[in-house]
Amino acid sequence: MPRFAANLSFLYTEHAFLDRFAAAASDGFRAVEFLFPYDAPAERVARTAQDAGVEIVLFNLPPGDWARGERGLAALQGREAEFDAALAQALDYAKILRCPRVHAMAGRVEDGADFATYLANLRRAAPVAAASGIDLAIEPINTRDIPGYFLNRQDEAHAIRTAVGAANLGVQMDLYHCQIVEGDVARKIERYLAGVSHMQVAGVPDRHEPDTGELNYPYLFELVDRLGYRGHIGCEYRPRATTSAGLGWLEPYLA
- Decide if 236 is catalytic: yes
Domains of the chain: 3-254 (3.20.20.150)
Report, as an integer, the average pLDDT of 204-224. 97
Taking residues 188-200, what's their average pLDDT?
98
What is the rounded average pLDDT of the residues 10-18?
Answer: 98
Q: Cα 132 from chain centroid?
A: 19
Q: 94, 132 in Cβ contact below 8 A?
A: yes
List 55, 70, 139, 209, catalytic entry: 139
Q: What is the pLDDT of residue 255?
A: 67
pTM over 0.75: yes
Q: What is the pLDDT of residues 134-171, one digit of tens each?
A: 999 999 999 999 999 999 999 999 999 999 999 999 99
Beta-carbon contacts of 6 under 8 Å, excluding residues fewer than 6 positions away, are: 12, 20, 24, 27, 29, 31, 32, 33, 235, 243
- The secondary structure of 27-83 as a DSSP string is TT--EEE-S--TTS-HHHHHHHHHHHT-EEEEEEPP-S-GGGT--BSTTBTT-HHHH
